[in-house]
A and B are shown apart, each in its own frame.
Chain A
Amino acid sequence: MSALHFAIISPFIFAIFVPFLYKLFRKIHTGWFVLLLPSILFIYFLQFISVTRDGDTFIRTVSWIPSLHIDFIAKVDGLSLIFALLITGIGALVVLYSIYYLSKNKEKLNTFYVYLLLFMGAMLGVVLSDNLIVLYMFWEFTSFSSFFLIGYWHEREKSRYGAQKSMLITVFGGLSLLGGIILLYIMTGTFSIQEMVANVGVITGHALFIPAMIFVLLGAFTKSAQFPFHIWLPDAMEAPTPVSAYLHSATMVKAGIYLVARMTPIFAYDQSGTWIWLVAGFGIITLFWGSFNAVKQTDLKAILAFSTISQLGLIMSLLGVGAAALHFNELSENIYTMAIVAAVFHLINHSTFKGSLFMMAGIVDHETGTRDIRKLGGLMTLMPITFTIALIGTFSMAGIPPFNGFLSKEMFFTAMKHIASFDLFNFSSLGILFPIIAWIASVFTFIYSMMLVWKTFTGPYKPEKLAKKPHEAPIGMLISPIILVSLVIIIGLFPNILSATVLPAAANAIMPEFIFDVHIKMWHGVNLELFMTIGVIAIGTLLYLSLSKWSRVYSLFPEKLTLNKLYDAFIPSLESSSNVFIRSHMTGYIRAYLAYIFIFFIGILGITIWGKDAFVLNTENTASIGVYEAILALLIVIGTVTILASKSRLTSILALGAVGYTVSLYYILFRAPDLALTQLVIETISVALFLVCFYFLPKKFHLEKTRFKLTNAIISIGVGLVVTLIAIASSSTKLFPSISKYYEEHTYDPAGGENMVNVILVDFRGFDTLFEICVLAVAGLGIYSLIKLRMTRRKEG
Chain B
Amino acid sequence: MKNKDIILQTIAKVVFFIIILFSIHIFFEGHYRPGGGFVGGLVTAGGLVLLLLAYDLKTVKKLMPINFRILIGIGLAVALLTASAAMLFDVPFFTHAFDYFDLPLLGETSLHSAALFDLGVYLVVVGTTMTIIQTIGESE
Interface, chain A (partner B; CB < 8 A): 673-674, 677-678, 681-682, 685, 689, 692, 751-755, 757-759, 761-763, 766-767, 769-770, 773-774, 776-777, 779-781, 783-784, 787-788, 790-791
Contacts and interface: CB of A to CB of B under 8 A. Distances in A.
B127 A780 contact: yes
Contacts of B72: 777, 780-781
Contacts of B124: 773, 776-777
Contact of B128 (A752, A757, A780): A780
Contacts of A790: 139
Contact of B39 (A674, A751, A759, A769): A674
Given A777-B128, A787-B135, A762 B42 contact: no
Given A681-B43, A780-B128, A758 B76 contact: no
Contacts of B118: 758, 762
Contact of B112 (A678, A752, A781, A791): A752
25 contacts: A674-B35, A674-B36, A681-B43, A681-B46, A685-B42, A689-B132, A753-B112, A755-B32, A758-B31, A762-B118, A763-B114, A766-B83, A766-B96, A769-B121, A770-B80, A770-B94, A773-B121, A774-B76, A777-B73, A777-B76, A777-B127, A780-B129, A783-B135, A784-B132, A787-B136
A767 B94 CA distance: 7
Nearest to B125: A776
B42 A678 contact: yes
Contacts of A751: 96, 114
Given A783-B136, A787-B135, A682 B42 contact: yes
B136 A788 contact: no
Contacts of B43: 681
B35 A783 contact: no
Interface of B: 26, 30-39, 42-43, 46, 69, 72-73, 75-76, 79-80, 83, 94, 96, 98, 110, 112, 114, 117-118, 120-121, 124-125, 127-129, 131-132, 135-136, 138-139
Given A781-B69, A781-B72, A762 B132 contact: no
A736 to B, nearest CB: 26
Nearest to A777: B72
Contacts of B31: 752-755, 758-759, 762
A194 to B, nearest CB: 58
Given A787-B136, A787-B139, A790-B139, 5 more contacts: A755-B34, A769-B117, A773-B79, A777-B128, A784-B131
Contacts, number: 124
Nearest to B140: A791
A762 B32 CA distance: 13
Contacts of B121: 762, 769, 773
A753 B32 contact: yes
Contacts of B139: 787, 790-791
B11 to A, nearest CB: 19
A751 B98 CA distance: 8
B132 A783 contact: yes
Contacts of A759: 31, 114
Contacts of A783: 131-132, 135-136
Contacts of A758: 30-31, 35-36, 118
Contacts of A779: 128, 132
Contacts of A791: 139
B34 A673 contact: yes
A770 B112 contact: no
Contacts of A777: 72-73, 75-76, 124, 127-128
A773 B76 contact: yes
B36 A755 contact: yes
A207 to B, nearest CB: 55
Nearest to B136: A692
A673 to B, nearest CB: 4
B112 A776 contact: no
Closest 3 CB pairs of A and B: A780-B128, A673-B34, A752-B98
A682 B129 CA distance: 10
A682 B79 CA distance: 22
Nearest to A786: B135
Contact of B120 (A752, A761, A773): A773
Contacts of A678: 38-39, 42
Contacts of A788: 135
Contacts of A677: 26, 34-35, 39
